[in-house]
Structure 1
Amino acid sequence: MSSPEVVVIGGGVMGCAIALRLATRGLRPVVLERSVPGAEASSVAAGILAPRIEHGEPGVATRCGVRSRELHERLAEELRERAGVDVGFRRCGAMIVATEDGEDLEARARALIEGGAEAEHLDAGEARLREPELGPAVRGAIDLREEAQVEPPVLLRALAIAAERAGARFRSGATVRGVRTEGARVTGVLVDDGAIDAAHVVVAAGSWTALVPGLPAPAQVVRPIRGQLVHTERRPCIASRIVFGAGGYVVPRPDGRIVCGATMEDAGFAKEVTLGGVATVIARATRVFPALADAPLVSSAVNFRPASPDELPLVGPAGPEGLWLATGHHRNGILLAPLTAVLIAEMIAEGGTSIPDAAALDPRRFARGSA
């Protein structure tokens, strides 16, 4: 295999999106995945594109999320053309519901509107007119019309197909044993069967970032947060929108499939679905939609979200020249993949980026903080 210009470590949605953006710029990336593309968090995620709900207050995270949500719509059309795949992008809207006294949704709605969101505060009756299956515990709601969803497993396959057609290459079963450097510059990576030379290495290994040998200090701050969710179904579907409430969420698909989630557990790399985790997810979902108590438990799943100390991703240069990080996205990996891919591709190809707020995501902020 001829030497690539860029090695991307990690074949999830993040790595595949980066490979596509690099390949469409005429670069020659190779994606290394220790299993098969999407074997980890990318295939398990719920696919929620709701930056206003995730972060609430205006700031870097919300601004980046909103930009990336809009990029998703264009990406969906691009993947339809390049790969012939519909990734399930739908601007279905989302609803935040209150199930406890003391939840001041009216003030939160005002803050969202002041921050630029298309938000509307609803009393309990108005909320049930829009989502009739909401249970009696619901005391009010905020309706957000711009939020969207996508189907992560389909998105992943479409990205991989499109990237390969654009010139990217994939190597499954490739375990990276180290990042090679010469002086202050990256020269490639070591894998089980030898070395791969490359001028640039992008680490998009998600929760496993800190386990890639030889990375500098910023990469070591990424830690896994376990999330458990369940899949059920109901026809006709239980709701038309994504609904957040009681500490969880319910994501309806048009064909009646439903994703309910999710726990947030600092459990290291213990990759088990637990009785307690499933019980928690079910309790939250049925508090908002009591009718789900009669729905079948189709399956359960678990994944790890890569979390950073300040809850912002690490995207950009990491130390030695030519080494880049694209990790630490926590619960927003699917949401932020298009924006991250553009940022990394622009930095590698042009030496800079047009993405606002890129400086706030610079991985070297942690190296400076530990100095």
Structure 2
Amino acid sequence: MQSGSEIIIIGGGVIGLATAIELRLLGAEVTILCKEVNAAAGRAAAGMLAPQAERIPAGAMLDLCLKSRSLYPEWIRKIEAISGVDAGYWQCGILAPYYNASAPGEDWLDARSIQQHQSGLSESVVGGYWYPADGQVDNRALMRSLTIASQTLGIQFQDGVEVTTIHRQNGRVTHLTTNCGEMSAQHYILATGAWSQQLQSIPTVPRKGQMLSVSVPPAPTADLPLQQVLFGEEIYIVPRRDGKIIIGATTEDVGFEACNTLKGVKQLIINAIRLFPPLQACALHETWWGFRPATPDEMPILGTSADANLTLATGHYRNGILLTPITARLIADLVWHQRADNLLAAFSWQRFEPV
């Protein structure tokens, strides 16, 4: 049996990497076990930081998202300083156009105003909202930055290691069975996203999302056709500073179906061109898919588990990239200092237990 790590994190996506870095900076010895790094949801995301554009209702989830968004600038600077790799953070703001407006709220932009804010929008757009504090991070660049930061700090990252069983006795995890043998630690963190239910009895299921990207002709950043994210009613369009534009995403209850489909890609293209017609002149660059970890209430599962030395950090659904800084901070503080922030209370696994 392999042993020696104080903490084993099961899952090598953005949540696992960021949490490992926070714990390492506190002094922990950390090992990350990752079944397949290229399958991480963080690699397939669009990287939007959109608690307001998502129209998340007031409550614990919005509080968590807004807190995490506020942490982003300082957190990104820290990760970039450790790694030396730009993570692509851009507080570009998010414009939310609407085709229908039965009862526009405060700060509504009418059709003329929104067209002045972003030229090229469909003539079917009747108005929308502008969220200047929302933004984006290049999720793939963020993954690179986190990976190199973890290596720089001496975190052990073991790719190709699949945990098949978590062994328990007397309310504690004793060891893990993996395809590379048995492993043990003093504490364990489950951060396996859409695959979490395979190891723990918690209600996380995959929600497949298909995405694509297009390329605009080479031009200075100032000449890009989009300077902010478009968060439409049926599509989102995310411009990158390198001239790529990310378009997403479908939401499909098809298990772990690993492919793009013509139907899915076609719908993305139709919806994107409907909202922003200039896209039809762009070159198709790439298509891909990923699996969001969904829970019944679409909120993450964070904090303690039924086992004293197993902590949960999963179920982030559509907001994994956004919630990475706050999740890493809260989980590291809980594991290392045994301090449970009040923010964690609403995200306990026990909310799904029968009354």
TM superposition score category, shorter chain reference: over 0.9
Q: Aligned residue for 1:61?
A: 61
2: CA distance, partners of 1:364 / 1:26: 30
1:284 has 2:285 as partner: no
Cα RMSD over matched residues? 1.5
2: CA distance, partners of 1:155 / 1:66: 19
CA apart distance, 1:57: 2.2
Q: C-alpha offsets along residues 193-223 of structure 1, whole Å, 9 cap, x if unaligned? A: 32212111111111111122xx2x3x2x100
Amino acid in the other structure paired with 2:77? E
1: CA distance, partners of 2:302 / 2:92: 29
1:231 has 2:232 as partner: no
1: CA distance, partners of 2:350 / 2:8: 20
1:256 has 2:243 as partner: yes
**Over 4 Å off, 4+ runs:** none
Partner of 2:213, secondary structure, is strand
Partner of 2:64, secondary structure, is helix
Q: Aligned residue for 1:73?
A: 73
The answer on whether the counterparts of 1:55 and 1:61 sit within 8 Å (CA) in structure 2 is no
1: CA distance, partners of 2:185 / 2:99: 53
Q: Aligned residue for 1:40?
A: 40
Amino acid in the other structure paired with 1:228? Q
2: CA distance, partners of 1:39 / 1:70: 28
Amino acid in the other structure paired with 1:19? A
2: CA distance, partners of 1:21 / 1:364: 26
Partner of 1:270, secondary structure, is coil
What does residue range 23-172 of structure 1 map to in structure 2 within 5 Å?
23-35=24-36, 37-100=37-100, 102-104=101-103, 106-107=104-105, 110=106, 120-172=107-159
Describe the shift of the 1:55–1:198 C-alpha distance in structure 2 as closer, same or farther (beyond 3 A). Answer: farther
2: CA distance, partners of 1:20 / 1:54: 28
CA apart distance, 1:177: 1.9
1:201 has 2:185 as partner: no
The answer on whether the counterparts of 2:3 and 2:183 sit within 8 Å (CA) in structure 1 is no
The answer on whether the counterparts of 2:121 and 2:276 sit within 8 Å (CA) in structure 1 is yes
What does residue range 338-349 of structure 1 map to in structure 2 within 5 Å?
338-349=325-336
Partner of 2:284, secondary structure, is coil
Q: Aligned residue for 1:363?
A: 349
Q: C-alpha offsets along residues 228-286 of structure 1, whole Å, 9 cap, x if unaligned? A: 11100224422111111141100011232100111111111111111111111111111
Amino acid in the other structure paired with 2:181? G
Q: Aligned residue for 1:20?
A: 21
Structure 2 unaligned regions, length at least 5:
218-222
CA apart distance, 1:103: 4.4
Amino acid in the other structure paired with 2:89? F
1: CA distance, partners of 2:260 / 2:309: 38
Q: Aligned residue for 2:220?
A: none
Q: C-alpha offsets along residues 93-130 of structure 1, whole Å, 9 cap, x if unaligned? A: 00111113x443x22xx3xxxxxxxxx32111111111
2: CA distance, partners of 1:193 / 1:285: 45
Name whichever of 89-98 and 173-182 sits farther off.
173-182
| Alignment: residue pair count | 349
CA apart distance, 1:370: 2.7
Name whichever of 179-188 and 89-98 sits farther off.
179-188
1: CA distance, partners of 2:160 / 2:246: 30
1: CA distance, partners of 2:318 / 2:102: 23
The answer on whether the counterparts of 1:210 and 1:222 sit within 8 Å (CA) in structure 2 is yes
* Matched-pair identity in %: 34
Q: Aligned residue for 1:323?
A: 310
TM-score normalised by the chain length of structure 1:
0.90
2: CA distance, partners of 1:23 / 1:188: 21
2: CA distance, partners of 1:28 / 1:286: 49
Structure 1 unaligned regions, length at least 5:
111-119
1: CA distance, partners of 2:68 / 2:62: 10
TM-score normalised by the chain length of structure 2:
0.94
Partner of 1:271, secondary structure, is coil
The answer on whether the counterparts of 1:11 and 1:38 sit within 8 Å (CA) in structure 2 is no
Amino acid in the other structure paired with 1:7? I
CA apart distance, 1:38: 4.3
The answer on whether the counterparts of 1:245 and 1:284 sit within 8 Å (CA) in structure 2 is no
Q: Aligned residue for 2:7?
A: 6
2: CA distance, partners of 1:183 / 1:57: 40
Amino acid in the other structure paired with 2:9? V
Partner of 1:132, secondary structure, is coil
Partner of 1:7, secondary structure, is strand
